[in-house]
């Protein structure tokens, strides 16, 4: 009997400690939640602003997304629609690359930017350079490495990851009937 009591006491102590820690974590979560949301939002706004090159734009998230993408936004400047921005994760060399792809209503790419990645420093990270990503601007339809866009030498996997991500973004938009599937 005393053995059972002792086990119960051990379990109780562990539960109490867990409850205490859960309390601490939830308190910190409450204190930081808004600030974290703000940071994420600022990040998103910065990427979209960089792609569309306008400070006064507004964007709205869309619902019912294809499962390959994490977010689709309609971007407009005042009353003028600028196009769509697709956010998605694509598998790179060192984990997922968080990609933002801006596409005009005509199906042409307005810009590509990388929100975060963990590619090899000095090699794979070169795909994040603005000069490289500029190679995607104006392209549309199914893209192939070496034809419509070049890869970065020494970073084939990372280049292919970005390319795959951009293709997925374009496909997602045409699936949602936002752009024509066969835009050339």
Partner 1 sequence: MSTKYSFGKQIREGLFENNPVLVQLLGMCPTLAVTTSITNALGMGLAATAVLICSNFLISLLRKFIPKQVRIAAYIVIISGFVTAIELLMKAYFYDLYGSLGLFIPLIVVNCIILARAEAFASRNPVIPSIMDGVAMGLGFTFALVLLGAVRELLGAGTLFGFAVLGSRYQPALLFIQPPGAFLTLGLLIAAVQKIRNVMKDKKKAAKQNAQKKSENAGEEEQA
Question: Which residues of the shown chain bind partner 1 in the complex (CB under 8 A)?
Answer: 9-10, 13-14, 17-18, 21-22, 24-25, 28-29, 31-32, 35-36, 39, 43, 95, 116, 118, 120-123
Residue 152 CB, nearest approach to partner 1 (Å): 14
Residue 4 CB, nearest approach to partner 1 (Å): 14
Place of tokens 């795959």: 164
Residue 22 CB, nearest approach to partner 1 (Å): 7
Cβ nearer to partner 1, comparing 86 with 114: 114
Contact between 85 and 98 under an 8 Å Cβ cutoff? The reply is no
CA geometry: angle 157, 159, 160, nearest 5 deg: 65
Residue 125 CB, nearest approach to partner 1 (Å): 10
Q: Which of 101, 123, 122 is nearest to 50 (CA)?
A: 101
Cβ nearer to partner 1, comparing 116 with 156: 116
Q: Could you count the other beta carbons within 10 Å of the beta carbon of residue 111?
A: 23
Place of tokens 């307005």: 110
**Residue 28, CA atoms < 13 Å, CB-side half-sphere:** 5
Cβ nearer to partner 1, comparing 13 with 137: 13
Cβ nearer to partner 1, comparing 66 with 94: 94
Cβ nearer to partner 1, comparing 87 with 140: 87
The separation between the first and the last C-alpha atoms of the chain, rounded to the nearest angstrom, is: 80
| Sign (positive or negative) of CA dihedral 61, 83, 59, 36 | positive
Residue 66 CB, nearest approach to partner 1 (Å): 26
């Amino acid at each position: 009997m005393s053995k059972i009591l002792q086990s119960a006491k051990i379990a109780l102590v562990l539960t109490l400690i867990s409850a205490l820690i859960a309390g601490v974590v939830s308190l910190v979560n409450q204190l930081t939640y808004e600030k974290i949301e703000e940071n994420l939002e600022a990040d998103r706004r910065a990427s979209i602003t960089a792609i569309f090159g306008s400070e006064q734009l507004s964007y709205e998230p869309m619902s019912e997304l294809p499962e390959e993408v994490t977010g689709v936004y309609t971007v407009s400047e005042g009353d003028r629609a600028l196009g769509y921005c697709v956010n998605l994760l694509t598998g790179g060399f060192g984990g997922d690359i968080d990609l933002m792809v801006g596409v005009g209503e005509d199906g042409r790419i307005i810009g590509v930017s990388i929100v975060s990645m963990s590619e090899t420093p000095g090699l794979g990270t070169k795909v994040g350079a603005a000069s490289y990503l500029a190679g995607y601007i104006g392209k549309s339809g199914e893209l192939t490495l070496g034809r419509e866009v070049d890869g970065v030498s020494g970073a084939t996997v990372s280049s292919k990851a970005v390319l795959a991500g951009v293709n997925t973004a374009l496909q997602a938009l045409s699936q949602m009937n936002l752009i024509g599937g066969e835009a050339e």
